Each structure stands twice: as structure tokens, then as C-alpha cells.
Structure 1
Amino acid sequence: MKRRIYYFIAALVLIVLGLSVRHFGDRLSNFVADHAGDALWAGMIYAGCRACLVRQRASLAAGISFLFCMAVECSQLYQADWIHALRSTVIGGLVLGQGFLAIDLLRYTVGIAIVYGMDIGRHADCGRRQRVKNKEYKSDL
């Protein structure tokens, strides 16, 4: 349960950061304003997948997140009236986006890769700490 909460909090932090990039984009560098929001959105999708799949490998969550992000971006090529109406809402626009951009595919990939790297790096660091702690315990015996 503790890990699920960690990933849920990570997703919330990424949401706040992503909305902040959109809101304060005029105060940020053009590069950050143009690219960070989509990367943060994809990172949030990864964190959400990890919250649901805490007992699975991180690579599975990364793969599912990648496929989900690609599907959402490609869905923007679909131009029916009902989906335009859905995209015109705040939540619909944030989740489904507004129009297909090939560069978004790269932004999503980078966002997932960064959060995935942080995730597996955190686990590697925890494992290293545990091995050091075990060695110290054995040396005390």
C-alpha cells in the first residue's frame, strides 16, 4: 500500500507541475514551455500505471504508458463531432489533447523515460542501502 501512495503522490506532483508549465509558460524559456507539459503528462501516466501495477516490473508500466500515450496522440487524428465536443471541455482537452503533433510522440517518450529512470534508480538505491545494511549487521556478529 505504501508504494501505491508513493506513486499516487508522484502523479499528483506531476499534474501540478504540468498545469504550472501551462499556466506560467510565458515566464519560462520557450523550450521548457513548448516541451515540458507533454513530458510531464506522460510521466504522470507512468506514475498512474505504476500505482496500479506495483507488483509488476517497472518496464511493464513503462510499456503500457508508452502505448497509452501513443494511442491518445493518434486518436487526435480522429475528427468526429462527438470527440471534438469532448476535447472542448477542460478535462477532455487535458486528457485527449487538441491536435496531432508528431513531436508529441518524442515528448511522451522522454517524459516516460525520465520518470521510469527515476523509478528504477530509486529501487536500485534502496537495494544498495539494504545490502550495505546487511553487511554492517553481519560484521557486528
Structure 2
Amino acid sequence: MVDFPQWVHLYLGDFLWALMVFWLICSLKPKFTNMQLAMIALLFAYSIEFSQLYQGDWLNTIRHTKLGALVFGFGFKVSDLAAYTLGIGFGVFIKHTLLNQKKKHQHHFM
């Protein structure tokens, strides 16, 4: 087993969750620009994080299910917002890089 630094254990899950949200939005809205996709993904991720400030009984009941915990989380942390931003930013970078390679490859064979 690889021994990662503590910050990796703390933030990798949030980073990957946000990256997953970005790719999900990309698959739902393939014609949107990277900026539009990033803004939607950030709005969604930040909304979920800020919803953790509300601790209503009905929402906490949902949070105590496996799916509810994965989607809604439990407690608000500003550091999670940074992890979401980095995860979505990484998704934009990868998508941009892949698109540029695809365009280069298409022009090369024309």
C-alpha cells in the first residue's frame, strides 16, 4: 500500500467527486463550452457543499443512506470548495487537451 500524505487522504475523494460531476455534466451537455460546463459543475458542487450548512431532519435522514452520504455529504468545509474547484479545473484541462489532440489528429489526416 502506498503511504500518501495526509492532505491526499483528506481531499482526494472531494477532488474525484467533483471531477465525476464535471464528466457527468459533459455527457449530458456535450455541445456546451468548457466554460459553461465548468460553471454548471461548480454551481452544482458548491450548492451541495453549502447545503451542508442546513441540518434539517429530512435531509439528514437522506444523508445517512449510502447514496445520500455520497451526494450530499455531512459537514460544510471551505477546503472542500477548493478540492471541487481543482477537480473541475482538472476535468476542463483534460477535456481541452483531448479536444486539441483530436483536432490536430483530424487536420493531420485531411
1:32 shift after superposition: 1.4
Aligned residue among 92, 96, 103 for 1:120: 96
The one-letter amino acid of 1:65's match is: A
CA drift at 1:41: 0.1
Please, which of 82, 88, 91 is the counterpart of residue 106 of structure 1? 82
| Displacement after TM superposition at 1:28 (Å) | 3.7
What TM-score, normalized to structure 1?
0.74
Larger Rg: 1
Taking the TM superposition and a 5 Å limit, the aligned residue runs for 1:64-83 are 64-83=40-59
Gaps of 5+ in 2: none
Give the 3-state SS of the residue equivalent to 1:99 in structure 2: coil
| Structure number with higher relative contact order (C-alpha < 8 Å, ≥ 6 residues apart) | 2
User: Secondary structure of 2:76's partner?
Assistant: coil
Query: Following the alignment from structure 1 to structure 2, what is the Cα–Cα distance between the partners of residues 40 and 59?
Result: 19
Q: Which structure 1 residue ranges, 4+ long, deviate > 2 Å from structure 2?
A: 26-29
Q: Say if 2:50 is the partner of 1:57.
A: no
The total of aligned residue pairs comes to 110
- Within 5 A, what are the aligned runs for 1:1-141? 28-134=4-110
RMSD over aligned Cα, in angstroms? Answer: 1.5
| SS of structure 2 residue aligned to 1:95 | helix
Give the TM-score taking structure 2 as reference length.
0.93
The structure richer in helix per residue is 1
Query: Percent identity between the aligned chains?
Result: 31
Q: Which amino acid aligns with 2:96?
A: I
Helix, strand or coil: the match of 2:53?
coil
